[in-house]
């Protein structure tokens, strides 16, 4: 059973890579705090030029670009555009996802998101690859230098944000501010950005079932990070799994 789950996880990663390539996915290479370019990953297909992106010192910065939220659809699958609702645990997702467990937050589609810049909230974000420390033998050669000694890429930190922003929005801004490398691609089949690499650690860098997963308040959503509307006081964790989520206490295929 465990090997079958790993194979399914690895197959899904391969499918996402194919979808990204077919869609002409973009890659952002962030610059470190000293102005130097972030180290590029050795995989040539992930290489791309620097590009402009949304990044501000905090959510109160008037220069933030929220134009992507302006022409919202008039209605959404789960109520009014941009409205957050709670799942009843039934039905299947529009974008290839299983039903959201009962009581958990339903997704908000990026095109329906409404950002209210008059309402500023606080959440907490951390990024960890500590699972790799127990699997160094499986780590791709040359990656040892990007694994922190304690596995912590970003200790849990408070982040201010506008009501209506997504988990992806917050990850993108914070990695920019902290000079942490981030590589992602939009996957139309899931209507979300997919996180391919953080801190130059990529999917399959530590085994076929390895890659990045996110949790909010201890729950691993079964939909993409662009579709999770962050709420006040949410605790967001980005974690690298070497075992399809089992080493994080979560079966990725659940």
Query: Is residue 91 in a domain?
Result: no
What pLDDT does 123 receive?
98
Query: Is residue 110 in a domain?
Result: no
For the chain, percent of residues with pLDDT exceeding 70? 62
Query: Is residue 74 in a domain?
Result: no
* Beta-strand runs (E) in 57-174: 75-76, 79-80, 116-128, 152-163
Non-local (6+) Cβ contacts of 171 within 8 A are 125, 182, 195, 214, 225, 236, 238
Look-up of token digits 């089992």: 246
Query: Is residue 219 in a domain?
Result: yes
For the chain, percent of residues with pLDDT exceeding 90? 59
Give the total number of structural domains in the chain.
1
Closest CA to 125 of 228, 248, 237: 237
Residue 7 — pLDDT band, cuts 50, 70, 90? Answer: low
Query: Is residue 67 in a domain?
Result: no
The yes-or-no verdict on residue 6 having pLDDT over 80 is no
166-214: per-residue pLDDT in tens?
Answer: 999 999 999 999 999 999 999 999 999 999 999 999 999 999 999 999 9
What pLDDT does 151 receive?
98
Residue 24 — pLDDT band, cuts 50, 70, 90? Answer: very low
Quote the CA–CA distance of 41 and 37 in Å, as a whole number. Answer: 12
Looking at per-residue pLDDT, the higher value among 55 and 93 belongs to: 93
Please tell me the pTM assigned to this model: 0.71
The yes-or-no verdict on residue 20 having pLDDT over 90 is no
Q: Which strands, in side-by-side order, build the sheet including 235-241?
A: 152-163, 116-128, 235-241, 211-216
What pLDDT does 72 receive?
42
Query: Is residue 88 in a domain?
Result: no
Q: Find out whether 132 and 240 touch, Cβ atoms under 8 Å.
A: yes
Alpha carbon distances (Å) from 51 to 48, 99, 127, 199, 238: 9, 36, 23, 18, 23
37-48: per-residue pLDDT in tens?
Answer: 444 443 332 333
Query: Is residue 99 in a domain?
Result: no
Domain encompassing residue 144: 2-59+116-248
- Asked which of 2-6, 224-228, 230-234 is least confident by mean pLDDT, the reply is 2-6
Query: Is residue 39 in a domain?
Result: yes
Mean residue pLDDT across the chain: 77
Mean local confidence (pLDDT), 221-239: 97
Per-residue b or e along 124-144, where b marks 16 or more CB atoms closer than 10 Å to that residue's CB: ebebbbbbbeeeeeebbeebe
137-159: per-residue pLDDT in tens?
Answer: 999 999 999 999 999 999 999 99
What pLDDT does 115 receive?
97
């Amino acid at each position: 059973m465990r090997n079958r789950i790993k194979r399914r996880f690895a197959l899904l990663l391969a499918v996402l890579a194919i979808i990204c390539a077919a869609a002409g996915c973009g890659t952002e290479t962030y610059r470190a705090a000293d102005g130097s370019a972030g180290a590029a990953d050795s995989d040539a297909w992930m290489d791309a030029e620097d590009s402009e992106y949304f990044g501000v010192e905090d959510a109160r910065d008037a220069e933030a670009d929220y134009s992507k939220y302006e022409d919202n659809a008039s209605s959404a699958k789960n109520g009014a555009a941009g409205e957050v609702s709670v799942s009843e645990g039934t039905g299947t997702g529009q974008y290839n996802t299983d039903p959201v467990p009962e009581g958990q937050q339903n997704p908000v589609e990026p095109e329906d998101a409404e950002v209210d810049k008059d309402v500023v909230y606080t959440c907490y974000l951390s990024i960890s690859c500590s699972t790799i420390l127990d699997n160094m033998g499986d780590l791709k050669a040359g990656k040892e230098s990007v694994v922190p000694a304690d596995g912590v890429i970003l200790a849990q930190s408070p982040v201010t944000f506008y009501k209506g922003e997504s988990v992806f929005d917050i990850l993108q801004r914070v990695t920019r501010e902290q000079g942490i490398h981030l590589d992602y691609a939009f996957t139309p089949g899931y209507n979300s950005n997919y996180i391919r690499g953080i801190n130059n650690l990529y999917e399959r860098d530590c085994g076929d079932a390895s890659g990045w997963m996110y949790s909010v308040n201890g729950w691993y959503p079964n939909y993409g990070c662009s579709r999770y509307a962050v709420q006040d006081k949410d605790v967001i964790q980005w974690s690298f799994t070497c075992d399809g989520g089992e080493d994080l206490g979560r079966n990725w295929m659940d």
